[in-house]
Amino acid sequence: MPLGIPPKYTVYGVIGFAVSFCGAIKYYSRGSKYKGKKNCLGKTFIVTGANSGIGRETAFNFAKEGGRVILACRDMEKCAAAKKEIINFTYNVQVICKKLDLASIKSIRQFAEEINKEETHVDVLVNNAGVMRCPETLTKDGIEMHLGVNHLGHFLLTNLLIEKLKGSVPSRVINVTCSAFVNGKINFKDLNSEDSYEEGVAYSQSKLALMLFTRELSKKLQGTGITVNAVHPGMSKTAIMRHTRLYNSKISSFFFWPIHFFVFKSVDRAAQTVLFAALDPSLQDVSGKYFSDCEEKEISENALNDEDAKRLWLTSEKWTRLT
């Protein structure tokens, strides 16, 4: 040993470095925690896809802070289980289950009609539900599933609730997108992916569509007191991955566990930016923005394309039979 360091200390040094390095990655990737005010008392929140993952965690936090929370889910058994769990932990009985299948225009219209009739106000709408990399499937109205659920379902829902949101100002719409929109492209020539279908491409397109919708809607609502923002929650191992090998195969899970452990956030941390966008008082007049890790992030060029946003809006109106 030229430096005269005994081999066992070299080994300890290497182990110490590796542990610190992994610890640093884990610490950095766990994501931020929203530490601002969480004033939910007297407010009504709607969370789509609230029976699992980030949606359930978000709904749980609203309920914990005393909000009235409407769990908007397609599967009423799963919805009832989530409701029970949330009430058991929060002692807040103002947690309500409502049927909403975003893959059905009829179901969305029925849900909106009930909300408009039964609720006196809606303060925050969290468009959280989503599908990722599912096999080629169509919604009940013949729309490619990613586009139909992630974008068009929420497009129609938000528009049908707009008068209620106007009557509840200051109110907020939060669209839960995914950073994958950066690689997305709106393929107007084959928007419904009929000529060719690739799961990843369809997912990115749908999340880019949600980004364009966020900005276009925020422009249309300027000065009304309703804000519209988009949030990337960060990577978290939830049921959204049900169609991926990483989720289903034991072999992949075994080899990729370091990615899960070191890079993915807990569901609690993934919900933090949604809570920030929904509750932070500093964002009362902030609209048309994109947040990740509890801070505003720059929007990529493809999501800043106003021409695409306008064209997509008109197409979305037609496809959802809004007008």
Ligand X SMILES: NC(=O)c1ccc[n+]([C@@H]2O[C@H](COP(=O)([O-])OP(=O)(O)OC[C@H]3O[C@@H](n4cnc5c(N)ncnc54)[C@H](OP(=O)(O)O)[C@@H]3O)[C@@H](O)[C@H]2O)c1
Interacting stretch for ligand X, rule CB under 6 A, among 50-58, 162-170, 220-228, 288-296?
50-58
CA angle, corner 107, sides to 106 and 110, nearest 5? Answer: 85
Q: 4 — alpha (psi -120 to 50), left (phi > 0) or beta?
A: left
Asked if 155 and 75 count as a contact pair (C-beta separation under 8 A), the reply is: no
The residue whose Cβ lies closest to ligand X is 53
Interacting stretch for ligand X, rule CB under 6 A, among 6-14, 72-80, 218-226, 304-312?
72-80
Strand order in the sheet with 290-292: 95-99, 68-73, 44-48, 124-127, 171-176, 226-232, 290-292, 295-296
How far apart are CB 108 and ligand X at their closest, in Å? Answer: 9
Identity of residue 82: A
Question: Which residues are identified as catalytic?
Answer: 203
The residue within the footprint of ligand X, chosen from 31, 49, 67, 184 (CB under 6 A), is 49
How far apart are CB 307 and ligand X at their closest, in Å? Answer: 25
Q: Which helix H or strand E contains 290, and what residues bound it?
A: strand 290-292
Phi, psi of 96, rounded to the nearest 5 degrees: -120, 140
The residue among 112 and 240 lying less far from ligand X, judged by its C-beta, is 240
The residue among 31 and 130 lying less far from ligand X, judged by its C-beta, is 130
The residue within the footprint of ligand X, chosen from 44, 90, 236, 272 (CB under 6 A), is 236
Question: Rounded to the nearest 10 degrees, how much is the dihedral formed by the CA atoms of 294, 298, 299, 305?
Answer: 150
CA distance 215 to 209: 10
The residue within the footprint of ligand X, chosen from 63, 100, 173, 309 (CB under 6 A), is 100
Q: Is 204 in the site for ligand X (CB under 6 A)?
A: no
CA angle, corner 150, sides to 130 and 307, nearest 5? Answer: 150
The residue within the footprint of ligand X, chosen from 90, 128, 273, 292 (CB under 6 A), is 128
Q: Is 75 in the site for ligand X (CB under 6 A)?
A: yes
Residues near ligand X, by CB under 6 A:
48-49, 51-55, 73-75, 78, 100-103, 128-132, 149, 176, 178, 232-233, 235-236, 238-240
